[in-house]
A and B are shown apart, each in its own frame.
Chain A
Amino acid sequence: MLECALHATGHLTLFTSERMPNGYGAEAELDAGGLDNLSDEELVDLFLARSRSDRPSAHLCFEKIIARYHWLIAHVVRSSRFRYPAWDSADDVISRVVFKVYRGLAQWRRQGKLSSFIARIASSEMIDTIRRVGRDKSWDQYAAAVDPDSDAPTAVDLAPSREPSPEAQLVSNEQREIVDRLLTDVCKDWKDSVIVNEYIIGNQNAKEICAKYEMSEDLVYQRARRLKVRLLKWLEERGITSADSLLGSGGSKGA
């Protein structure tokens, strides 16, 4: 299949590239014009084949792939709800996404579009970045205002304990166990999960959920009705038929 793709381009001449920095991969490469005519599948096949033996050519293929999809990567990253700190900016995220696309192209399954594969990598990188940033103490904008040598109690020292009493904690644990088991059994896919989260136990309306999760309003209502039936059936089967028995964990806990 790969050979057919190569022959189909008709011109496999090599020439020098000046675009890659540090002279890296600047020796010889495939004819750029021919690559423009290849499909995504053919271009990725060619990239993978050349990666093993001819990196400059592989790099040229990769340049062509990114020429097609850089806009998508940038759009996914820059239009996100996430905000990045200056020391790990959207440009940094985009650079890492492009690197991970390079590293991961061998994993692309041809049943899905290349755009979808790349968008997934971009989203995952954004999420990893936000999780990492969230764990980094230097991201706390108030940290710099506190004198580390001061003997004054910090906000953490002054905060009241959030630990409930042992009795309350026991009830909470039982409630949590029931709710966890309920949701594990009732939610069948991600749409169920977010509709439960945002609509059934949250306070978002269907229109907001549609816009946020790219689904139709009808789907939200339809799923919510089905979820309500499943939720109530699950609770009833376990003897939980009132708010008191749920909040007080008074129902039968047998599965």
Chain B
Amino acid sequence: MARKPAHPDTQLFDYLSGALDASAVRELEAHLDACPDCARAAQLLRALKSARHVTVSAVSEHPDTSEIAALFYGKSSRARAQTRAHVATCQSCAEEIAEYARAEAYASEYNPADHASGEVPSASWEMIREWEESSFAKPRASSEAISQDLLAKLFKLIGERPDWLREARRTATEAAAGAASRGVPVIVVDRSGALRSVEMFERMTDASGAGVLRHATKSERFDARPVHALHEADGRQRVVSYRIRLDTIRLEDARAASEMADYFIIEE
């Protein structure tokens, strides 16, 4: 009995892209005439190609750069499924992935000893100086970081959402079960104190031994935003304020580092 030929997957993709020469096209079309599975696959893949314009033209908002970076550098489970789907149809975001791939290839081969040494540009020193002299480079005192009005709104918000917050905490605890780090739900509010969303951070220790909270998907979209750790115990309220650096909240306050604050709030 004649053995059925293997499905020409690679040639099928090239055929649909118009990359096959004439003789290869004839050969493949003969296979399609004889193989209903491949014929159906070709029909559906062609339909997907033609449906591409529908999804591409609908792209109005690209994922944040940090999400594109998380997709490239992070583990697949950490990147959002929507980001993967977006990159599958968006040419400009695919180009951005290509930039990360190219840079990573250079980085993996790079040996400083093989190249001339460089200097810090004077413009960079200027930016460093301005940054170090600004309040962004150091933790802010709680008294100047948050107004009493906003603080009252935040405690009110927490008080009004016990079930909702309990659910976020439960999800965080479950996600962290057996993991080296602990999940911490962080509430995001706008400057008026209105709720926006909940972000998951992971509690861990950094290389210098300091306690930190790091965004679970390494997103840097909250870089430089203020964060307020609200402690509420024995009827007393205490607030410690920080700035997020890239994807990390460094818990400078010893007490905040050693115990779980009740809630962390980010003003957007």
Interface residues of A in 183-236 (CB under 8 A from B): 183-185, 187-190, 192-194, 196-206, 212-215, 221, 224-225, 228, 231-232, 235
Q: Which residues of A contact B98 (CB under 8 A)?
A: 81, 194, 212-213
Give the contacting residue for A82; candidates B14, B99, B115, B119; CB below 8 A: B99
Task: Write the nearest CB–CB distance from A110 to chain B, whole angstroms.
Answer: 6
Give the contacting residue for A193; candidates B58, B69, B88, B117; CB below 8 A: B88
The number of chain A residues touching the other chain, given as a range, is 35 or more
Known: A82-B99, A120-B69, A224-B13. A190 touches B87 (CB 8 A): yes
Q: Is the CB of B48 within 8 A of A201?
A: yes
B84 in the interface, Cβ–Cβ < 8 Å? yes
Interface residues of A in 93-132 (CB under 8 A from B): 94-96, 98-99, 102-104, 106-110, 113, 115-116, 118-120, 122-124, 126-128, 131
Give the contacting residue for A187; candidates B52, B84, B131; CB below 8 A: B84
Give the contacting residue for B247; candidates A24, A62, A107; CB below 8 A: A107
Q: Which residues of B contact A126 (CB under 8 A)?
A: 99
A179 in the interface, Cβ–Cβ < 8 Å? yes
Q: Is the CB of A197 within 8 A of B89?
A: yes
Q: Is the CB of A179 within 8 A of B45?
A: no
Interface residues of B in 89-116 (CB under 8 A from A): 89-91, 94-108, 110, 112, 115-116
Give the A-B contact count at a CB cut-off of 8 A: 269
Task: Write the nearest CB–CB distance from A81 to chain B, whole angstroms.
Answer: 7
Q: Is the CB of A124 within 8 A of B94?
A: no
Q: Is the CB of A109 within 8 A of B41?
A: no
B194 in the interface, Cβ–Cβ < 8 Å? no
A178 to B220, CA, bound (A): 30
Q: Is the CB of A115 within 8 A of B84?
A: no
Q: Is the CB of A175 within 8 A of B54?
A: yes
Known: A19-B119, A66-B119, A122-B103. A194 touches B87 (CB 8 A): yes
Residue of A nearest to B10 (CB): A221
Q: Is the CB of A187 within 8 A of B88?
A: yes
Task: Write the nearest CB–CB distance from B46 to chain A, whole angstroms.
Answer: 6
B34 in the interface, Cβ–Cβ < 8 Å? no
Q: Is the CB of A22 within 8 A of B246?
A: no
B170 in the interface, Cβ–Cβ < 8 Å? no
Q: Is the CB of A123 within 8 A of B99?
A: yes
A228 to B85, CA, bound (A): 15
Q: Is the CB of A188 within 8 A of B99?
A: no
A88 in the interface, Cβ–Cβ < 8 Å? no
Q: Which residues of A contact B88 (CB under 8 A)?
A: 183, 187, 192-194, 196-197, 201
Q: Which residues of B contact A176 (CB under 8 A)?
A: 54-55, 58
Task: Write the nearest CB–CB distance from A116 to chain B, whole angstroms.
Answer: 4
Known: A71-B116, A176-B54, A197-B94. A95 touches B127 (CB 8 A): yes
Q: Is the CB of A235 within 8 A of B122?
A: no
Give the contacting residue for B71; candidates A21, A99, A193; CB below 8 A: A193
- Count of chain B residues with a beta carbon within 8 Å of a chain A beta carbon: 85
Q: Which residues of B contact A106 (CB under 8 A)?
A: 206, 208, 245, 248, 250
The interface stretch among B72-80, B140-148, B256-264 is: B72-80
Residue of A nearest to B87 (CB): A193
Q: Is the CB of B115 within 8 A of A190?
A: no
A85 to B10, CA, bound (A): 41
Task: Write the nearest CB–CB distance from A231 to chain B, whole angstroms.
Answer: 7
Q: Which residues of B contact A109 (CB under 8 A)?
A: 207
A231 to B65, CA, bound (A): 27
Give the contacting residue for A20; candidates B12, B19, B91, B125; CB below 8 A: B125
A240 to B42, CA, bound (A): 14
Task: Write the nearest CB–CB distance from A126 to chain B, whole angstroms.
Answer: 6
Q: Which residues of A contact B85 (CB under 8 A)?
A: 180, 183-184, 187, 193
A136 to B194, CA, bound (A): 31
Interface residues of B (CB under 8 A from A): 9-10, 12-14, 17-19, 40-41, 43-52, 54-55, 58, 62, 65-66, 68-69, 71-73, 76, 79, 81-82, 84-85, 87-91, 94-108, 110, 112, 115-129, 131-132, 206-208, 220, 245-248, 250
Task: Name 20 A/B residue pairs within 8 A (Cβ), A-sorted.
Answer: A48-B208, A67-B118, A80-B99, A80-B102, A98-B124, A99-B124, A119-B104, A119-B110, A123-B99, A126-B99, A128-B65, A188-B76, A190-B79, A190-B84, A201-B89, A204-B17, A212-B101, A232-B44, A242-B43, A246-B48
Pairs A-B, 9 closest by C-beta atoms: A70-B118, A243-B47, A68-B112, A119-B107, A95-B123, A183-B85, A67-B117, A98-B124, A71-B115
